[in-house]
Amino acid sequence: MEINNCIALVTGANRGLGKAYVDALLAAGASKVYAGARDIGSIATANDRVIAVRLDVTCEDQVRSAAQRCNDVTLLINNAGIMKSSPMLAEGSEEALRAEMEVNAFGVLRMARAFAPVLSKNGGGAIVNMLSVVSWFVNPGNATYCASKYAALAVTDALRIQLKAQGTQVVAVHAGYIDTDMAAGVNSPKVSAQQVAARTLDGLREGKNSVHADQRSEEVWQKVKTDPEGLHARLQEAWDRLVEAKGD
């Protein structure tokens, strides 16, 4: 897909990676970018090519309204996401999983169902779903989030198959920790939001189904393919160390 002159909608566009996507699209020549956020007052821009749209991806009425208003969209970037950092058996894990699934998986599906007809009418276009390296494995300390991203990957793969006939490109973007508010408390190497956005747009131009947006995603993908048992063993060791540390 060519980014120049496209008309895009980015969810969760008010900060972090969402804002980086908006900036990258503008720099690449997008003619219009709809910036979706729950609070449109949080979208600060003087660029007349950016249009703020009130959009909570968990609200069917707001999603439907956005599809009606933004009926010229040729590129949808599903970026909105939440992370509760809950182990699977922790107190409140069911509530955490429900909340993460509602945004990270059902939100993606909700947006795709609303905008697939719009994209078809406008020539096919593309859908980008922002996933994670934990679409491929489960970090036990953040297990409910991983489950939601596993589900989002399945949604993405199904959309790609079903929307091929209408000419819609569907791209899964995988990254490790990104230097945004979501990972502010993480003491591990992080990729910049700008790099993730840039690699995503490159992947769109190249017609890729999957984008590995950083070194972490490239490394994890190789481990998933070549040594899944070893990866599982390392995750078990990490969990055991965490439990031991908390016991102390």
* Active site residues per annotation: 145, 149
Q: 37 has which bridge partners?
A: 54
Six token digits for residue 196: 């993730």
DSSP code per residue over the chain: ---TT-EEEESSTTSHHHHHHHHHHHHTT-SEEEEEES-GGG-----TTEEEEE--TT-HHHHHHHHHHTTT-SEEEE---------TTSTTHHHHHHHHHHHHTHHHHHHHHHHHHHHHHTT--EEEEE--GGGSS--GGGHHHHHHHHHHHHHHHHHHHHHGGGT-EEEEEE-S-BSSGGGTT--S--B-HHHHHHHHHHHHHHT-SEEE-SHHHHHHHHHHHH-HHHHHHHHHHHHHHHHHHHH-
